[in-house]
């Protein structure tokens, strides 16, 4: 931890803005051809990302602008922004679900739950369960560097990825069927990110949260830009209503690639500075 200054908060906000922009672009790239471009939804991630980055820095007082702290902060801000958005969409937002193949609202066996009280109760239970998992990670004891430290970091990533896998399976499996490879993907990817992230912090909780953020960034990049022939799951089988967005969405790709290049470059500097 370091002293919090106005400069460090501004840096935190900027890193958060980058993470929010990253999430907004892949979300728009998948959804706009079905729903059209929604400026408010796009701006939502930018604003939430900015606020998340500033809040994380204010609370954790990371030693910015050290490269390792920047790498860690990007993942943490990403996780906070994604967590808020998913909680909103799943348990709070009221929206017509008929336009989706897979409901985005909290569902049981693929059937959206109408009762607001029931959704709020389910949301509280989910938040409580996630909090228990992350608290368990936070209580893991520290030890000497080496194999043991790597295993502990991997376990932190496993928990983070497990949270994503369980939530995704609950939503998708009733419609698509349970896919063991898809289920295991998130824990494995999060573990791969958690191990190097542990080089930049002694907090297993930060490692788990940042690994969660990076897992989302990597998984959505793969699904959005490398599985171009596969329709987004929640719109699978639905008509393409805004074909003009096939062209317009390309204008955002350079910014998306630039953010990834910046993250990788700073990550390289952080590893070199160890």
Q: What is the pLDDT of residue 99?
A: 87
The yes-or-no verdict on residue 2 having pLDDT over 60 is no
| pLDDT on residue 274 | 80
Q: Which residues contact 177 (CB under 8 A, 6 or more apart)?
A: none
**pTM metric for this prediction:** 0.94
pLDDT digits 0-9 by tens, 82-125: 999 999 999 999 888 888 889 999 999 889 999 999 999 999 99
Residue 137 clears pLDDT 80, i.e. is over it: yes
Mean pLDDT of all residues in 238-261? 95
Taking 60 as the threshold, does the pLDDT of residue 175 lie above it? yes
In DSSP notation, 116-180 reads HHHHHHHHHHHHHHHHHHHHHHHTPPP--SSHHHHHHHHHHHHHHHHHHHHHHHHHHHHHH---H
Give residue 175's Cα distance to chain centre: 23
Residue whose entry in the numeric block shows the structure tokens 């990049």: 221
Residue pLDDT, tens place only, 39-80:
999 999 999 999 999 999 999 999 999 999 999 999 999 999
* Upstream peptide bond of 65 is cis (omega within 30 degrees of 0): yes
Top-confidence residue, 198 or 235 = 198
- Mean confidence (pLDDT) of the chain: 93
- Please state, in angstroms and rounded to a whole number, the distance separating the CA atoms of residues 24 and 171: 21
Q: Cα separation of 71 and 12, whole Å?
A: 11
Parse the chain into domains and list their residue ranges.
6-272
Given a cut of 70, whether residue 230 has pLDDT beyond it is no
Q: What stretch of H or E contains 28?
A: helix 6-35
Confidence of residue 227 (pLDDT cuts 50, 70, 90): confident
């Amino acid at each position: 931890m370091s002293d919090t200054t106005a400069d460090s908060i501004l840096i935190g906000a900027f890193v958060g803005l980058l993470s929010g922009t990253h999430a907004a672009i892949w979300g728009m790239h998948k959804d706009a051809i079905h729903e059209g471009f929604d400026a408010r939804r796009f701006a939502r991630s930018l604003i939430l990302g900015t606020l998340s980055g500033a809040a994380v820095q204010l609370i954790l007082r990371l030693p910015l602008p050290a490269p390792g702290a920047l790498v860690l902060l990007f993942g943490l801000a990403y996780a906070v922004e994604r967590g808020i958005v998913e909680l909103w969409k799943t348990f709070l937002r009221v929206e017509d679900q008929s336009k989706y193949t897979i409901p985005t609202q909290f569902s049981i066996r693929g059937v959206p739950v109408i009762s607001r009280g029931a959704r709020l109760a389910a949301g509280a239970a989910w938040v409580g369960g996630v909090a228990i998992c992350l608290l368990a990670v936070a209580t893991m004891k520290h030890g000497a560097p080496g194999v043991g430290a790597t295993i502990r970091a991997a376990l932190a990533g496993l928990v983070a990825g497990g949270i994503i896998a369980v939530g995704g399976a609950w939503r998708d499996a009733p419609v698509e069927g349970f896919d063991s490879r898809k289920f295991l993907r998130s824990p494995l990817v999060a573990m791969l990110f958690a191990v190097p992230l542990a080089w930049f912090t002694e907090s297993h909780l930060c490692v788990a949260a940042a690994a969660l953020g990076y897992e989302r960034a990597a998984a959505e990049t793969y699904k959005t830009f490398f599985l171009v022939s596969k329709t987004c799951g929640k719109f699978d089988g639905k008509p393409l209503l805004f074909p003009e967005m096939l062209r317009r969405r390309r204008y955002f790709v350079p910014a998306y690639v630039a953010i990834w290049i910046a993250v990788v470059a700073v990550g390289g500097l952080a590893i070199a500075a160890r």
